[in-house]
Amino acid sequence: MSGGKATGTGAGTRSTRVPAQKARVRLAPFLVILFFVALFSIGVALEEPGRVLEQAVSICLSCIGIG
């Protein structure tokens, strides 16, 4: 069943191409999420959500191709 061993180990594929090994928690996703939570928070502090809401509640004529 395991006779056909995969051969490619390119750097771009190594992260999810794993031989049998113990599961280990990956930190990278949490760090990336944290970075974007920080961006999100900066946006909230700058009151961007209000602007997004203001734009989203009116018809965007450009978006629908008649503006």
Partner 1 sequence: MEILRSWVQVLVALVTNGYWAFPFTRALYQGPLKVLCSPGLNCYSCPAAVTACPIGALQQLLAGVRGTMAAGQHFYGFYVVGSMGILGAAFGRMICGWACPFGLIQEVLHKIPSVKLPVPGVLRHAKYGFLLFFVLLLPLFAVDRFGFGTVWFCKYVCPAGTLEAGIPMLLLQPELRKSIGLLFWSKFVIMIFYLGWSVFSSRPFCRTTCPLGAFYSLFNRFKLVRLRLHEDRCTQCQACHHVCPMGVKFNENPDDRECITCLACMSKACQYGAISLEIGGIPLSGKTISAPQEVR
CA distance readout (Å), 63 to 13, 53, 54: 38, 16, 15
Q: Under a CB-based contact definition with an 8 Å cutoff, are residues 67 and 61 in contact?
A: yes
* Residues 3-42 as x/- pattern, contact with partner 1 by CB under 8 A: xxxx-x---xx-xxxxxx--xxxx-xxx-xx-xxxxxxxx
Number of residues that bind partner 1 (CB under 8 A): 55
Q: What's the closest the beta carbon of residue 55 comes to partner 1, in angstroms?
A: 5
Phi, psi at residue 66, to the nearest 5°?
Answer: -125, 15
Q: Which residues bind partner 1 (CB under 8 A)?
A: 1-6, 8, 12-13, 15-20, 23-26, 28-30, 32-33, 35-44, 46-53, 55-67
